[in-house]
């Protein structure tokens, strides 16, 4: 997909011509911080896929300092093109659009503290056997009757809710994210970033639509990498073997989403190793062990 010449700029990187464009006029989601500044790049006069690079805070973010700017230079564009090519972007061949994380200040390699490393399959199987012996399974409930969500600019959708043991999954996640989110916000304020007193990161999610959770969808039965596979991450990245459980409150799931490993052991299904895609937070949450028959009944189509 080529980028129109009008409003875009030309750049030649390693002998190949590209067009690139940055939307300087912020959308409502960019002003609220839900969507970052986006850089679009495509090969010039070619029908291959464009690459969208997420560059962090938009200069017109409503919480940004008055003098905050985010200039995108040709050197930045060249660096992102090379990064995209190294990650597998093929701008001259047919294929899906590529999304690249160009701003990774708050995401790095996951380093697990003692006692927090994700359990291996053998440990999960042992846990499932213990739950079967005691009958102390966790209980999943899918709720379709969540209030409709709308946005000031128009549009909306009807999210579903997930409850575990009678408690909203978002509440479980909020408790697990609270120390990480508070530490991040404190560090950003210490670095001089202007943040409102009521800005929140912990548990800032909505449920997805019922079609995502309910059968015949396989999203809650094992690896289902959407939307992680829309990002330029390696083929062997563990996030490609996870499933998305919650999405962003802006309605754009890719913006801020929670994943977990879903392991089907035959008689039991286990949720473990929860992860916020855009952060390297380590969660003190789960594993949750569900009896398979009851689990399938909970997500059965109505």
Among 87, 90, 35, 98, residue whose Cα is nearest residue 62:
35
Q: Return the pLDDT at 110.
A: 65
- The backbone region for 77, taken as left when phi is positive above 0, alpha when psi lies in -120 to 50, beta otherwise, is alpha
Number of other CB atoms surrounding residue 146 within 10 Å: 14
**Residue 5: both structure tokens together:** 């010449």
**Residue 168: both structure tokens together:** 């909203």
**Can you point out the beta strands (E) in the chain?**
9-13, 16-22, 38-43, 51-54, 98-101, 140-143, 149-150, 156-157, 161-164, 167-168, 205-207, 243-248, 258-264, 268-276, 288-291
User: To 10 degrees, the CA torsion angle through 23, 24, 30, 35?
Assistant: 40
Q: What is the pLDDT of residues 197-252, one digit of tens each?
A: 888 889 999 999 899 999 999 999 999 988 888 776 777 788 889 999 999 887 77
Is the pLDDT confidence value at 61 over 60?
Answer: no
Backbone angles phi, psi at 290, to 5 degrees: -115, 140
Number of other CB atoms surrounding residue 155 within 10 Å: 9
Q: Give the range among 51-60, 170-179, 270-279 with minimum mean pLDDT.
A: 51-60
**256 touches 278 (CB < 8 A):** yes
Q: What CA–CA distances, in Å, run from 255 to 3, 54, 151?
A: 23, 10, 16
How much is the average pLDDT of 5-11?
Answer: 82
């Amino acid at each position: 997909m080529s980028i129109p010449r009008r409003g875009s700029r030309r750049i030649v990187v390693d002998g190949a011509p590209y067009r690139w464009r940055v939307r300087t006029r912020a959308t409502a989601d960019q002003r609220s911080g839900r969507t970052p500044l986006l850089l679009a790049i495509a090969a010039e006069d070619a029908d291959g896929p464009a690459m969208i690079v997420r560059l962090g805070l938009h200069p017109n973010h409503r919480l940004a300092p008055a003098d905050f700017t985010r200039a995108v230079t040709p050197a930045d564009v060249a660096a992102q093109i090379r990064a995209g090519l190294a990650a597998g972007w093929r701008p001259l061949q047919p294929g899906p659009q590529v999304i690249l994380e160009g701003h990774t200040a708050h995401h790095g390699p996951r380093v697990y503290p003692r006692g927090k490393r994700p359990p291996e399959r053998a440990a999960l199987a042992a846990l499932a056997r213990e739950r079967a012996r005691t009958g102390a399974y966790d209980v999943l409930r899918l709720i379709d009757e969540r209030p409709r969500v709308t946005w000031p600019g128009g549009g909306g959708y009807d999210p579903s809710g997930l409850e575990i043991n009678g408690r909203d999954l978002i509440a479980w996640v909020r408790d697990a994210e609270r120390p990480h989110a508070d530490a991040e916000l404190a560090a950003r304020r210490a670095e001089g970033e202007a943040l409102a007193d009521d800005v929140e990161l912990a548990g800032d999610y909505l449920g997805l639509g019922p079609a995502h959770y309910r059968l015949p969808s396989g999203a809650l039965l094992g690896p289902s990498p959407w939307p992680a596979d829309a990002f330029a991450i390696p083929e062997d990245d563990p996030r490609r073997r996870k499933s998305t459980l919650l999405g962003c409150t802006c309605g754009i799931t890719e913006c801020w989403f929670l994943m977990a490993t879903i392991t089907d052991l035959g008689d039991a299904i286990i949720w473990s190793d929860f992860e916020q895609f855009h952060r390297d937070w380590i969660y003190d949450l789960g594993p949750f062990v569900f009896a398979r028959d009851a689990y399938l009944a909970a997500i059965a189509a109505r």
